[in-house]
Structure 1
């Protein structure tokens, strides 16, 4: 395992996801990187901030070219997103409403507003959502539920994934054995996103609880 040996000699002890990713890319080449990125869409615990820089790093070692790394990882992102799109279609609007109406603290009109918002901003959500941790995978599901035109979904997903993947693959390619520095930067950004979402959810719950109490007192 030439790449793994090289990294270990660089004082980076690869294990877990990173070690498995390097092993897959050495065995399958650039298609292995694409496969892992596709799986990352379906299983978010496989972090793209590790897989993509590793793909760039592996390309820098000569196992495949940078162009191959970019092409296969972008293809993998698009295929993985398409699988979730079809899952959203299979789930369907009626099932979504059936479940929503049985959730606490929510109203049917909330979902109707969300649908209306997606109708107005769905294209932006799919494009920019591909560049936001956590939402990168999830955004494909409502696109499928709302039956966004397939070619439009594929085009926006491909474009958004191309930007995101290129940044990380090229960073890994340029940093070489220091590819792991990318993870720290993205990890901080991800926690910021989680914090903002958590605050928004808590605020929404508080407003909804107050609204329900007010209605009961009337």
Structure 2
């Protein structure tokens, strides 16, 4: 979490040309299999988009991000084609993305190139889908148009949000992170409560059964 915060703060301090280049680099890294778990591409794009105050800046950032996303996804695709299903057994996928990998593979099997397009809007699955597409044998001629279309829509939406909200977008990003932690805490507490209630019910049932046994 601290690493992501440091990267975003560093990003904010960059001059405009370097900001655009760094954002493109983060997005490219996020799209490459494995790096999406540590590279804050989406958050970086939202931060960078808060500096957009004209149509040329919008178009430049949109073009750079779309191209970088396409390149990163293509790298992931050819990694998947090269190493095949055994990618799922790597330590990285086993640690961070087995569920996402299986989900991406299932969606690809059912939807084909459409899955590549919609995966762009799904965290984790977005990082794993290109490699899964290469592994599944989806032709690159179908993969690339879906990747470019998805990246173009995804980047345009995020840049529009950031440009419209300006500084508020940064606060929203922080609120979302905090909200995620709060939600996690609620889930954990709820799970403990459910576990405790079930344990007590089970204990009461055993006690009742023991009390009735002599009567039987």
Tell whether the structures are fold-level matches, with TM greater than 0.5: yes
Deviates more, 1:68-77 or 1:40-49: 40-49
1:169 equivalent in alignment to 2:159: yes
Mark the CA change 1:185 to 1:87 in structure 2 (over 3 Å): closer, same or farther. Answer: farther
1:57 equivalent in alignment to 2:50: yes
Counterparts of 1:22-171 in structure 2 under 5 Å? 22-23=12-13, 26=16, 28-42=18-32, 43-44=35-36, 45-60=38-53, 65-93=57-85, 95=86, 118-171=108-161
- Contact residue 21 and residue 36 of structure 1 kept, 8 A: no
- State the Cα distance separating 1:72 from its structure 2 match: 0.6
Deviations 1:10-60 (CA, angstroms, capped at 9, x unpaired):
xxxx95021222345645253332122111223222223321112212233
- Contact residue 118 and residue 150 of structure 2 kept, 8 A: yes
Distance in 2, matches of 1:178 and 1:27, equals 22
Deviations 1:140-189 (CA, angstroms, capped at 9, x unpaired):
11101122111211111111122221111111111112221442576568
- Structure with bigger helix share is 2
- Contact residue 19 and residue 48 of structure 2 kept, 8 A: no
- Contact residue 49 and residue 182 of structure 1 kept, 8 A: no
State the aligned residue count.
164
RMSD over aligned Cα atoms: 3.4
Deviates more, 1:36-45 or 1:123-132: 36-45
- Contact residue 25 and residue 58 of structure 1 kept, 8 A: no
Distance in 1, matches of 2:42 and 2:107, equals 30
Mark the CA change 1:135 to 1:117 in structure 2 (over 3 Å): closer, same or farther. Answer: closer
- State the Cα distance separating 1:119 from its structure 2 match: 3.6
Deviates more, 1:48-57 or 1:22-31: 22-31
Distance in 2, matches of 1:186 and 1:144, equals 33
Give the TM-score normalised by the residue count of structure 2.
0.63
Higher radius of gyration, 1 or 2: 2
Q: Which runs of 4+ in 1 moved over 3 A?
A: 23-27, 114-120, 184-189
Distance in 1, matches of 2:41 and 2:22, equals 14
Give the TM-score normalised by the residue count of structure 1.
0.62
